[in-house]
């Protein structure tokens, strides 16, 4: 690639003007990039740097070796499991629900579902946790109804504040999230493909196995990854619902930040954060790549 | 397809029934819970007492106003920073669009908890002692979504072409922005503002970890003394959120119908 | 599998209050290419989809080679269909798309691959066999779609506005290709379009539809020269509406008495329907019957647009060598060179 280009005037210009022209075009974007640099990249950079320092402010991997052991490793295991399970139990019902709405629903129903899912998917944290306490807590309405029907969940040692309880509560925002992110993929399965497949001799089952599912699988996998990251990193709900009995990485970081707990290493919280970022990135980056590629045929 | 339809025609009603149960059971239960109060002799009654109690709390108004203020500033910062940048991208700097889009997706990759640690570690004291650090960060949190909304909104419009047409007809830059660019971006901008506002009002993680006390975090502290009150608050905010989204959806479909009719 | 006759009898369909098809009767002979031509909403696509089995009719029967297929499911009808656009399966390559129908019929792999490649060669795309739909141009995609439909050796080929989404040049080339293939394979074909030039150019017969009804079905020549109704007359080709006075069986146009083809006894003001090529324009000294507005050179012919004193616009089409002396603004006289015209009442 030569440095010069022929301008619209037909005169060849040297590389300098070309670069300068691009710089002028990029200049108004600098505020946004600078903003991101200061408010986003710098904090993350600082965390990474500090995570690699020990109590004497020297470079060291001690924080990372610490978090590789208990109790931190347990927290990671729990969080990863929580992300995976909530993603698993949300992705399939969510996909089915999105499919039924997409294929059978009227336009009005579809927009209602979209706005409702939007509200519920962002219903994190506090309101959600309290809602479930109101429903399934010891004094909850659903428990009372079930008692009236003769079923006493609490007699068997059931508690909402267990691991399975949290997974269950997470479904409440994970399923709507699945509906939101998976619906566009379903929407883009064109009627022409179904008609053409039928015309060429495919039963509905054959259509789905040869065309539909292969087409949708990447988006499904991507959605699963997003749900995993969402369940893994969620803080508010876990905070409002647990009573310190379950170790989850976001919660551990939270207690360290509060400064109430003394730890051997001052920067353990930072390395925990770095660990979180790595795991989250491991899920989110494939998600973004798949989504970009899928958009090609979804046009 | 007609045969298949009749075979599975129960699918939609069944799914809706299950979904309704899923949504309305917890919601209904919380609503019922939120009206509970106990009389002097321990009997259960239902009334608006918990809601009255909430509103009577002195911190209710102060925290609500604080959250509203923060949300408002988040919108203002977004308006100043993000909207012009996206407009510029589409107008003159199409070349950089993919790159910028990629960068704006990065906040999605980082968990908010980790970002909170970063903020606590990196930001200078003067910044950490002002509540304005929250709206400044909310812009980042909302960026993947606001960028996407604005970008999508502008994709559908030949911004470059109409601006050049305006300029060719004699409009200076100010007039072009005011009469041509701004009106055409209106809906996308409204969507972006709405999302930022909603996100800011409900944001808990960053606020709590940075030890600020806004409306969402106040609700948590309320739960320590009055769980019914906390639940009433949750029901209140959920209902409010849903109503806003519902009416926003109604008005956008109404204006869309108007637009379609004029074509 | 030799193509057979396709018979539609009494096909009716309504969507809510709208009548899409009203007692449609149509017979297509073996190896014939029949076009259904009409404006949007006339029911042509609905009719096609009913033949394909993708939609059900409220009444009437569809028979293929004498066999009633009305209630036969779409995937068993053995008809090949080409859609307007976007019908190629995006996750399959071109050759995989083409062999899809054969795969559904459980033809074994090597054999179906061979057939698919042969068909791709037939449509000139054998070098693109491994490409995916999003890597192909619109015209290429439609050719693959055509190959895909032909791969199953259908008894009937159904084309739903296959060229509408393509560029003009691609459209003209592809329609010739479709016709060539259809003739060489002898496939009975039903072709739906709103483009009358396209329909007239390649069809054995053309059926003009309006509001769910078949107005006229005939060979292109007859449709053009002997339109059965004013709708057909206006839809096919260009038609001038010349104000004239009608008596019992003749109209007076530009001073000439011309016989009415569709007399209905009413006298008075009418519009005479005259094709541009039936009008001769000649210069006059002084005031003429009309004044020339524009002259467009179209190659062998030229289009001359004139305006009558009362403002009515007349289009004439004349050989260029006979109209070279005509210029905008000149006074001219018009002469109708045919002996009978259709009239419509204003």
Beta-bridge mates of residue C301:
C319
Say if residue A168 is in the same domain as residue A255: yes
Antiparallel, parallel or unpaired: β C340-344 and C256-260: parallel
Q: What is the ipTM of this complex?
A: 0.82
- What is the C-alpha to C-alpha distance for residues B126 and C310, in angstroms, rounded to an integer? 84
pLDDT tens-digit series, residues C69-81? 999 988 899 999 9
Give me the total of CB pairs closer than 8 Å, taking one residue from chain A and one from chain B.
229
Q: Within an 8 Å CB–CB cutoff, is residue B3 touching chain C?
A: yes
> Closest to B109 (Cβ–Cβ): which among A135, A142, A280?
A280
CA distances for B7 relative to B3, B4, B11, B12, C142, angstroms: 6, 5, 9, 12, 34
Q: Which residue's entry shows tokens 């407009």?
A: B87
List of chain B residues whose C-beta atoms are within 8 Å of the C-beta of residue C55: 2
Given a cut of 70, is residue C109 above it in pLDDT? Answer: yes
Say if residue A94 is in the same domain as residue A27: no
Q: Within an 8 Å CB–CB cutoff, is residue B4 touching chain C?
A: no
Read off the tokens for A159.
């508690």
The model's confidence at residue C343, banded by pLDDT at 50, 70 and 90, is: confident
pLDDT value for A247: 87
Q: Within an 8 Å CB–CB cutoff, is residue B204 touching chain A?
A: yes
CA distances for C274 relative to A242, C258, C338, angstroms: 87, 11, 9
Read off the tokens for C273.
């329907």
Chain C: give the shortest CA distance to residue B180, in Å.
31
Chain C: give the shortest CA distance to residue B260, in Å.
19
**Cβ contact, residue pair A36, B108, below 8 Å:** no
List of chain A residues whose C-beta atoms are within 8 Å of the C-beta of residue B246: 115
What phi-psi label fits residue B73: left (phi over 0), alpha (psi between -120 and 50 degrees) or beta? Answer: alpha
Q: Which helix (H) or strand (E) holds A288?
A: helix A268-298
Read off the tokens for C186.
């002898």
Nearest CA-CA partner of A199 in C55, C236, C43, B80: C55
Task: Report DSSP state, residue C24.
Answer: E
Read off the tokens for B9.
């025609």
pLDDT value for A107: 80
pLDDT tens-digit series, residues B210-259? 888 888 888 878 877 777 788 888 888 778 777 877 777 666 655 555 54
For residue A253, tell me if it sits in a domain.
yes
Q: Within an 8 Å CB–CB cutoff, is residue B95 touching chain C?
A: no
**Cβ contact, residue pair A40, B140, below 8 Å:** yes
Phi then psi dihedrals of residue A221, to 5 deg: -60, -40
**Cβ contact, residue pair A210, C103, below 8 Å:** yes
Say if residue A37 is in the same domain as residue A75: no
Contact C182, C157 (CB under 8 A): yes
For residue A28, tell me if it sits in a domain.
yes
Contact A96, B15 (CB under 8 A): yes
pLDDT tens-digit series, residues B132-169? 889 999 999 999 989 988 998 888 888 888 888 888 88
| CA-based nearest residue in chain A for residue C101 | A200
b/e sequence B113-142, b meaning 16+ C-beta within 10 Å? bbbbbbbbbbbeeeeeeeeebbbbbbbbbb
Say if residue A23 is in the same domain as residue A72: no
Sequence-separated contacts (24+) of C307-313 with Cβ below 8 Å: C308/C243, C310/C243, C312/C241, C312/C242, C312/C243
Contact C292, C328 (CB under 8 A): yes
Q: Within an 8 Å CB–CB cutoff, is residue B157 touching chain A?
A: no
Q: Chains near C, with 3+ CB pairs < 8 A?
A: A, B
Say if residue A31 is in the same domain as residue A132: no
Q: Which helix (H) or strand (E) holds C218?
A: strand C213-218
SS3 A287: helix
> Closest to A202 (Cβ–Cβ): which among C75, C88, C134?
C75
Beta-bridge mates of residue C252:
C245, C257
The model's confidence at residue C61, banded by pLDDT at 50, 70 and 90, is: very high
Q: Within an 8 Å CB–CB cutoff, is residue B1 touching chain C?
A: yes
Name B100's Cβ contacts closer than 8 Å, sequence gap at least 6: A29, A32, B85, B89, B147
Say if residue A67 is in the same domain as residue A46: no
Q: Chains near A, with 3+ CB pairs < 8 A?
A: B, C
> Closest to B93 (Cβ–Cβ): which among A25, A97, A122?
A25
Residue A107, Cβ density class (10 Å: 0-12 exposed, 13-18 middle, ≥19 buried): exposed
Domains of chain C: 6-234 (3.40.50.300), 241-344 (2.40.50.100)
Average pLDDT over residues C293-298: 93
Chain B: give the shortest CA distance to residue A11, in Å.
22
| Residue-wise DSSP of C181-196 | HHHHHT-EEEEEES-H
- Chunked into runs of 10 residues, chain A (299 residues) has average pLDDT values of 45 61 83 92 91 82 84 90 94 92 82 78 75 77 76 64 84 89 86 92 92 91 93 87 80 80 74 91 90 73
Q: Within an 8 Å CB–CB cutoff, is residue C85 touching chain A?
A: yes
**Cβ contact, residue pair B1, A172, below 8 Å:** no
Q: Within an 8 Å CB–CB cutoff, is residue A295 touching chain C?
A: no
Least confident of A261-265, C160-164, C165-169: A261-265
| CA-based nearest residue in chain A for residue B237 | A127
Q: Within an 8 Å CB–CB cutoff, is residue C100 touching chain A?
A: yes
- Using alpha carbons only, what angle is made at residue C329 by residues C325 and C335, rounded to the nearest 5 degrees? 65
> Closest to A276 (Cβ–Cβ): which among B85, B111, B209?
B111
Given a cut of 70, is residue C3 above it in pLDDT? Answer: no
- Give the dihedral sign, CA B165/B168/B173/B179: negative
Q: Within an 8 Å CB–CB cutoff, is residue C106 touching chain A?
A: no
List of chain C residues whose C-beta atoms are within 8 Å of the C-beta of residue A201: 75-76, 78, 101, 104-105, 152
pLDDT value for A265: 67
Domain count, chain A: 2
Name B22's Cβ contacts closer than 8 Å, sequence gap at least 6: A172, A175
User: What CATH number is attached to the domain comprising A225?
Assistant: 1.10.3720.10
Say if residue A135 is in the same domain as residue A46: no
Say if residue A89 is in the same domain as residue A185: yes
Q: pTM for this structure?
A: 0.81
> Closest to C54 (Cβ–Cβ): which among A198, A203, A215?
A198
Contact C306, C331 (CB under 8 A): no
pLDDT value for A106: 82
- What is the C-alpha to C-alpha distance for residues A218 and A185, in angstroms, rounded to an integer? 10
pLDDT value for A155: 60
Selected residue with higher pLDDT from A130 and C195: C195
Contact C25, C62 (CB under 8 A): no
Contact A125, B205 (CB under 8 A): yes
pLDDT value for C102: 94
- What is the C-alpha to C-alpha distance for residues B36 and B25, in angstroms, rounded to an integer? 17
- What is the C-alpha to C-alpha distance for residues C157 and C33, in angstroms, rounded to an integer? 9
For residue A3, tell me if it sits in a domain.
no
**Cβ contact, residue pair C54, B1, below 8 Å:** yes
Q: Which residue's entry shows tokens 């995609």?
A: C141
Name C29's Cβ contacts closer than 8 Å, sequence gap at least 6: C5, C188
Selected residue with higher pLDDT from B1 and B134: B134
| CA-based nearest residue in chain B for residue A98 | B15
> Closest to A199 (Cβ–Cβ): which among C81, C105, C134?
C81
- What is the C-alpha to C-alpha distance for residues A35 and B81, in angstroms, rounded to an integer? 9
Chain B: give the shortest CA distance to residue A236, in Å.
6
Chain B: give the shortest CA distance to residue C134, in Å.
20
- Which of A189, A198, A200, A290 to mutate against chain C (most C CBs within 10 Å)? A200
Say if residue A135 is in the same domain as residue A273: yes
pLDDT value for B64: 87
Phi then psi dihedrals of residue B211, to 5 deg: 60, 40
SS3 C9: strand
List of chain B residues whose C-beta atoms are within 8 Å of the C-beta of residue C74: 1
For residue A58, tell me if it sits in a domain.
no
Residue A84, Cβ density class (10 Å: 0-12 exposed, 13-18 middle, ≥19 buried): middle
**Cβ contact, residue pair A202, C85, below 8 Å:** no
For residue A8, tell me if it sits in a domain.
no
Say if residue A188 is in the same domain as residue A145: yes
Say if residue A124 is in the same domain as residue A258: yes
pLDDT value for B252: 62
List of chain C residues whose C-beta atoms are within 8 Å of the C-beta of residue A202: 75, 100, 104
For residue A4, tell me if it sits in a domain.
no
Contact C201, C240 (CB under 8 A): no
Say if residue A38 is in the same domain as residue A167: no
**Cβ contact, residue pair A201, C152, below 8 Å:** yes
Residue C110, Cβ density class (10 Å: 0-12 exposed, 13-18 middle, ≥19 buried): exposed
Expressed as residue numbers, the domain containing A20 is 14-51
């Amino acid at each position: 690639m030569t440095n010069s280009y022929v301008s619209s005037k037909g005169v060849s210009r040297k590389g300098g003007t070309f670069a300068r022209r691009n710089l002028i075009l990029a200049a108004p974007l600098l505020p946004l990039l600078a903003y991101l640099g200061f408010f986003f990249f710098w904090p993350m950079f600082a965390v990474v740097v500090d995570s690699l320092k020990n109590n004497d402010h020297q470079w060291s991997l001690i924080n990372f070796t610490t978090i590789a052991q208990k109790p931190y490793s347990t927290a990671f295991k729990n969080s990863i499991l929580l992300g995976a399970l909530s993603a698993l139990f949300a992705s399939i019902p969510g996909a089915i629900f999105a499919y039924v709405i997409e294929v059978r629903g009227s336009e009005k129903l579809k927009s209602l579902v979209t706005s409702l899912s939007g509200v519920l998917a962002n219903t994190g944290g506090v309101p959600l946790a309290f809602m479930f306490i109101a429903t399934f807590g010891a004094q909850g309405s659903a428990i009372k109804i079930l008692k009236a029907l003769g079923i006493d969940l609490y007699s068997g040692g059931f508690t909402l504040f267990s691991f399975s309880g949290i997974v269950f509560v997470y479904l409440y925002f994970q399923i709507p999230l699945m509906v939101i992110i998976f619906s566009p993929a379903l929407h883009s399965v064109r009627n022409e493909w179904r008609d053409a497949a039928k015309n060429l001799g495919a039963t509905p089952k054959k259509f789905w196995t040869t065309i539909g599912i292969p087409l949708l699988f990447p988006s499904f996998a991507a959605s699963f990854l997003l749900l995993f990251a969402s369940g893994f990193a969620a803080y508010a709900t876990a905070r409002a619902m647990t009573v310190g009995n379950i170790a989850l990485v976001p919660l551990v970081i939270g207690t360290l930040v509060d400064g109430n707990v003394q730890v051997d290493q001052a920067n353990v919280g930072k390395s925990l954060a770095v660990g979180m970022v790595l795991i989250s990135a491991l899920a989110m980056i494939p998600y973004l790549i798949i989504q970009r590629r899928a958009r090609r045929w979804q046009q | 397809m007609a045969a298949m339809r009749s075979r599975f025609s129960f699918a939609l009603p069944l799914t809706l029934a299950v979904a309704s149960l899923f949504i309305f059971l917890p919601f209904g239960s919380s609503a019922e819970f939120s009206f509970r109060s106990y009389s002097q002799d321990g009997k259960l009654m239902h009334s608006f007492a918990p809601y009255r109690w909430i509103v009577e709390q002195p911190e209710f108004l102060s925290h609500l106003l604080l959250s509203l203020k923060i949300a408002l500033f988040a919108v203002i910062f977004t308006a100043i920073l993000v909207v012009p940048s996206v407009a510029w991208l589409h107008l003159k700097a199409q070349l950089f669009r993919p790159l910028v889009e990629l960068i704006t997706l990065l906040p999605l990759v980082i968990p908010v908890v980790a970002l909170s640690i970063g903020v606590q570690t990196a930001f200078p004291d003067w910044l950490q002692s002002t509540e304005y650090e929250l709206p400044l960060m909310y812009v980042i949190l909302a960026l993947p979504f606001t960028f996407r909304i604005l970008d999508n909104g502008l994709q559908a419009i030949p911004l470059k072409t109409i601006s050049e047409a305006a300029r060719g007809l004699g409009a200076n830059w100010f007039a072009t922005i005011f009469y041509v660019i701004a009106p055409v971006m209106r809906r996308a901008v409204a969507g972006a503002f709405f999302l930022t506002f909603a996100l800011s009002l409900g944001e808990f993680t960053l606020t709590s970890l940075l030890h600020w006390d806004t409306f969402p975090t106040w609700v948590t502290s309320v739960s320590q003394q009055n769980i019914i009150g906390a639940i009433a608050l949750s029901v209140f905010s959920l209902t409010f959120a849903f109503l806003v989204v519902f009416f926003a959806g109604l008005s956008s479909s109404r204006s869309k119908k108007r637009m379609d009719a004029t074509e | 599998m030799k193509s057979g006759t396709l018979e539609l009898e009494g096909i009716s369909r309504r969507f809510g209050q709208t009548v899409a098809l009203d007692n449609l009767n149509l017979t297509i002979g073996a190896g014939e290419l029949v076009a259904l031509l009409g404006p949007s909403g006339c029911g042509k696509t609905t009719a096609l989809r009913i033949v394909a089995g993708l939609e059900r009719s409220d009444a009437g029967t569809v028979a293929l080679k004498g066999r009633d297929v009305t209630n036969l499911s779409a995937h068993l009808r053995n008809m090949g269909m080409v859609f307007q656009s976007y019908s190629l399966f995006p996750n399959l390559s071109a050759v995989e798309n083409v062999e899809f129908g054969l795969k559904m019929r459980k033809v074994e792999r090597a054999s179906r691959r061979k057939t698919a490649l042969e068909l791709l060669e037939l449509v000139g795309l054998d070098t693109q066999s491994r490409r995916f739909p999003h890597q192909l141009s619109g015209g290429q995609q439609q050719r693959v779609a055509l190959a895909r439909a032909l791969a199953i050796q259908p008894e009937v080929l159904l084309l739903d506005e296959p060229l509408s989404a393509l560029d003009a040049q691609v459209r003209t080339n592809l329609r010739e290709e479709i016709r060539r293939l259809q003739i060489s394979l002898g496939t009975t074909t039903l072709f739906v379009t709103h483009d009358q030039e396209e329909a007239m150019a390649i069809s054995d017969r053309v059926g003009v539809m309006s509001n769910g009804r078949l107005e006229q079905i005939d060979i292109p020549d007859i449709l053009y020269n002997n339109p059965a109704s004013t709708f057909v007359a206006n839809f096919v080709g260009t038609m001038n509406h010349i104000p004239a006075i009608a008596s019992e069986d003749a109209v007076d146009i530009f001073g000439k008495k011309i016989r009415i083809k569709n007399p209905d006894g009413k006298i008075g003001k009418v519009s005479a329907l005259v094709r541009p090529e039936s009008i001769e324009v000649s210069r006059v000294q002084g005031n003429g019957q009309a004044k020339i507005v524009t002259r467009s050179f179209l190659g062998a012919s030229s289009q001359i647009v004139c305006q009558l004193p009362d403002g009515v616009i007349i289009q004439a089409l004349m050989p260029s060598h006979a109209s070279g002396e005509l210029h905008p603004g000149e006074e001219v006289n018009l002469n109708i060179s045919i002996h009978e015209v259709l009239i419509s009442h204003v």
